[in-house]
Chain A
Amino acid sequence: MLKVLRDLFRHNREFAFGSILVLIVLGIVVASFFSPYPPLDSYVVPPDIPPSWDHLFGTNSRGQDVFWQLSVAMRNSLLFGISVALISRVISVAVGLVSGYVGGMVDRVLMSINDTFVVIPLFPILTLFYFMMHDHMSWALLALAMASLGWPYDARLIRSVALSLRNREFTTQSIFSGMSTRQILLEEHLPYVLPIVFSTTLNNINWSIGLEVTLSVIGLTNIETPTIGTMIYWANQHTAMVAGVWWWVLAPVATVIMMFIGLFLLSVSMNEFIDPRTRLARMGV
């Protein structure tokens, strides 16, 4: 496994670049556990100091050190993104595998539901959801809501893989040897699907963090929790750009863009690696 990763790193430029970006971001996240300031407190340092040796990314108008705030914010956003991605993976794998394998009426019904969710514009629904939940809104609930809206795109993808697996020899062999549908799906097909699932997970993390940032910036989430979105929200509240406190906006935007691009490059290069045709094409065959 490690040898594969090392080879990828050496030969695949996208993988290398992507993993470097992601490692930088993860480094910042790990640093958050060593933060000298309690993350929820404000006015612990003098406000509006530009980046300097004392404060790597400067301080913001709320009297917080931007670097340490960013580390906690990135950690929260990443945790949120990962939880949404994981929950929605479960749904999309289940739907995709069952739909592709069983086919027929079940397939048609599941795919109709799937397409419905693909078409419905998410943002109005999420704002409505916030509207309804109000002060009962918690990050867990939001994650659940987003996960239940974010599975359809990838379910289709998994379904097409399942379709091709259905007609393979080892599948017919499993049926003849008396395995139940559930056993076949879990033990035979799932391992094939996992690499694709992994790369879609990375994309899904991007998507959910993007949506979290959007909702937070408008103020529709719990603004007391430091996340990338709420950092930008507070910067807007204090008219940071106009007041010249540009580092408060640049730090979260740059970091989150790094993470998006990094994760994306990783997912693209893994996809390429998994698909034998493209892998061969890279080698120049």
Chain B
Amino acid sequence: MSSYFWYVLRRLGQFVLVVFVGINIVFFVTHATPIDPVEQAISSVTQFGQSDPRAVEIMRKALRELYGLDGTLWQQYLTFWKRLAIGDFGPSLSAFPTSVSTLIGQALPWTAGLLSTSTLIAWCVGNFMGGLAGYYRKNRLLKAVGIVATGLQPIPSYIMSLVVLIVFGYFWPILPISGGVEMNIHPGFTFDFISSVVTHSLLPVLSLALITIGGWFVGMRSLVSNIVSEDYVVYAELAGVDRHRILTSYVMRNALAPQLTGLALSLGGIFNGAIITEVVFGYPGLGTLLVRGVNSGDYSLVLGIASISIIAVATAVFAIDLLYPFLDPRVKVR
């Protein structure tokens, strides 16, 4: 048991390292930007309305004070970490004075929902089908599915989302292609709201699942085909154990462990795919928020989203790492 404790400690150390390095990168990149939020604010106000040049100077001075853009880089760095500890990313500069945390809080559930649903579906279905394909090697239908999966695997997320959008938006428009929920429905545990959320999520989930399902299928299939030649499987077959039972209890259970590691390693990539899919479908999650933040030069918002992404993915990986030894007792928790 104590070896598990050391294992956890080492994993925790890795987690902290990831978060620290990642957030440092994000901080320095955002603060190296030449975009000045005060000038952005001034130009957005004067773009349409009456503009008196004398007034602009007054506005500029007032905004500089308000946004708190004084202090050296080092001071801003320290303030940033202090605020981060309590989860405060400061006010958004394009939607002043609403705080970045509020904005992220509104968008995060959508992204989390999209990510978890599609990952779960892709992982389960992909592994299940892959396991079948690896075991029943002669089955024609499974071979056909295999070819489709291999074809899907290398396609990048944007192209996949675009194709899904075109098919279901132009050729066969049976599902909504933008937004998270239908208009004028109030959030709550009503049937209307929940069913609307579900229908609006079908296409993004489909895109995201299709992108990753190929990988799980192919990986599982090759893992299973390796395990099939192992001694204990051959022995079980000779002993007359029911084929279905061999598949589930002997073969797939052993293949799941490496697939779980694979899941942990690819979470970062899946997150990328989710963000891109959201942008394509106008889904109100972190992806759309991030692109708007970049386009309006709001670096507080961009900084906040990037930090949250890093923390979220690192936490998920950490959680999977913790569970891993329980799934595969062969792993030596050195």
Contacts and interface: CB of A to CB of B under 8 A. Distances in A.
Direct contact of A and B (CB under 8 A): yes
Interface of A: 112-113, 115-116, 118-125, 127-132, 134, 153, 203, 206-207, 209-211, 213-214, 217-218, 220, 232, 241-242, 249, 253, 256-257, 260-261, 263-265, 268
A115 B170 CA distance: 42
Given A131-B33, A131-B297, A263-B154, 19 more contacts: A115-B18, A116-B21, A119-B267, A119-B268, A121-B309, A121-B310, A124-B302, A124-B305, A125-B25, A128-B294, A131-B35, A206-B154, A206-B156, A210-B158, A210-B159, A232-B162, A241-B169, A253-B162, A257-B159
B85 to A, nearest CB: 20
Nearest to B308: A124
Contact of B275 (A113, A124, A210, A211): A124
Contact of A130 (B32, B268, B294): B294
Contacts of B297: 131
B93 interface: no
A131 B157 contact: no
Given A116-B21, A120-B18, A218-B279, A128 B26 contact: yes
A72 B277 CA distance: 27
Contacts of A125: 25-26, 29, 306
A119 B32 CA distance: 23
A153 B262 CA distance: 11
A62 B159 CA distance: 22
Contacts of B267: 119
A63 B166 CA distance: 23
B151 interface: yes
A268 B276 CA distance: 27
Contacts of B317: 119
Contact of A153 (B151, B153, B169, B265): B265
A281 B162 CA distance: 38
Do most interface residues of chain A lie in helix, strand or loop, or is the interface mixed? helix
Q: How large is the interface on B (under 10, 10 to 19, 20 to 34, 35 or more residues)?
A: 35 or more
Contacts of A116: 14, 17-18, 21-22
B49 interface: no
A105 to B, nearest CB: 14
A265 B218 CA distance: 12
A118 to B, nearest CB: 6
B291 interface: yes
A153 B268 CA distance: 12
Nearest to B22: A120
Nearest to B317: A119
A220 B295 CA distance: 10
Contacts of B18: 115-116, 119-120
Contact of B34 (A118, A134, A207, A261): A134
Given A119-B317, A153-B265, A220-B294, A124 B154 contact: no
Interface string B67-109: 0000000000000000000000000000000000000000000
A253 B167 CA distance: 14
A128 B29 CA distance: 6
B276 A132 contact: no
Contacts of A112: 14, 17
Contacts of A128: 26, 29-30, 294, 302, 306
A196 to B, nearest CB: 16
A129 B29 contact: yes
A127 B296 CA distance: 13
Given A129-B29, A253-B163, A123 B294 contact: no
A59 B287 CA distance: 33
Contacts of A206: 154, 156
Contacts of B30: 128, 131-132
Contacts of B163: 253
Contacts of B195: none
Nearest to B170: A241
A217 B158 contact: yes
Nearest to B229: A281
5 contacts: A121-B272, A123-B275, A128-B29, A213-B158, A257-B159
Contact of A120 (B166, B275, B310): B310
Contact of B268 (A121, A241, A242): A121
Contacts of B272: 121-123
Nearest to B15: A119
Contacts of B170: 241-242
B140 to A, nearest CB: 15
The 8 closest A-B pairs by CB, nearest first: A210-B156, A264-B154, A124-B306, A260-B154, A123-B272, A214-B158, A121-B271, A128-B29
B313 interface: yes
A193 B159 CA distance: 32
Q: Most chain-B Cβ atoms within 10 A of its Cβ — which of A119, A122, A132, A134? A: A119
Contacts of B166: 241, 249
Contacts of A253: 159, 162-163
Contacts of B169: 241
Contact of A123 (B35, B150, B276, B314): B276
B290 interface: yes
Nearest to B276: A214
